[in-house]
Amino acid sequence: MNAPVPPSQFQRRPLSVRMATPRGFCAGVDRAIQIVERAIEKYGAPVYVRHEIVHNRHVVDRLKGLGAVFVKELDECPDDRPVVFSAHGVPKSVPATARSREMLFLDATCPLVSEVHVEAERNFAAGRHVILIGHAGHPEVVGTMGQLPAGAISLVETVEDAEGFQRPGDQPLAYATQTTLSVDDTAEILAALKRRFPELPDPHKEDICYATTNRQEAVKRLGEGCGLVLVVGSKNSSNSARLVDVALKAGAGDARLVDDAGDLDWSWFEGVETVGLTAGASAPEPLVQGVIEALRTRFDVTVTEDDGARETVTFKLPRVLTA
């Protein structure tokens, strides 16, 4: 009679894991996190940060452990401690208030978001009304709208909004976009606007950033052949949420947003032979590796890296932190 096989020797079901390239941190996120870390090194704790520096719970918790204090508004900060503005950008009124209080402030706004701000100001100075394609309430949208006087910029979130938008008088128009939108959804909104306003000029440079575009293209490739796509990222991360949408549109059987391995639900894997794995631009790579380790406890995992764009972009830190 055969002896029972110990549980540890049960054969695990094979599972193929395809890793998206690129994934995870982009240059703007990396720069913003370094600004907080360097500020704590240089000035000591506490260093205040207005809003989450990037939209990732694990990053925020780690920085809290180093001495960062996250606040919603400047009135929660003392005058005599440094304050960092988040990567998403801030309305003009925020640095103006900091200057009036003679605060030491460090601007961690992503340089690509700052380019959108400059473009919006340029169009306003030229007498154009600016249409901003983005999500209401997102810090980046609040920051961009706050570059111009009230009424100078209109927010459009959907194709329906684009169809219903009313030009203020006979004012010429321009548009800008949030940097973390779905490339395809934005194209649909823009097509609706251009049908109505054929003269609408394109920005000098594409507003949706290289990292958003590259990560969405990588996920499209995953979606074509995966029964399940896992996106590592926090629920308030716009670019991470868009990756889930893109995967489903590309043909993935299912797609899920997980903060870390603790969010995995093993029922998602029933009947799945190939899993795609990626991470939003604000999610650290150790969280991705943690998901793989969790999968190895249940499956005989084979990991392959997809081909994709290799990113070499870096952004300089503020001079005050490098001197």
Name the residue type at position 121: E
As beta bridge partners, residue 154 has 131
Query: For 246-281, b where at least 16 C-beta lie within 10 A, e where not — what string?
Result: bbebbebebbebbbbbeebeeebbeebebbbbbbbb
Under 8 Å between Cβ of 145 and 94: no
Of 52, 140, 157, 160, catalytic: 140
- Distance between CA atoms of residues 105 and 107, nearest Å: 7
For the chain, what's the residue count? 323
Query: DSSP states of 133-149 as a string?
Result: ES-TT-HHHHHHHTTS-
Active-site annotation holds for 140? yes
Query: For 26-53, b where at least 16 C-beta lie within 10 A, e where not — what string?
Result: bbbbbbbbebbbbbbeeeeebbbbbbbb
What are the residue numbers of the active site? 140
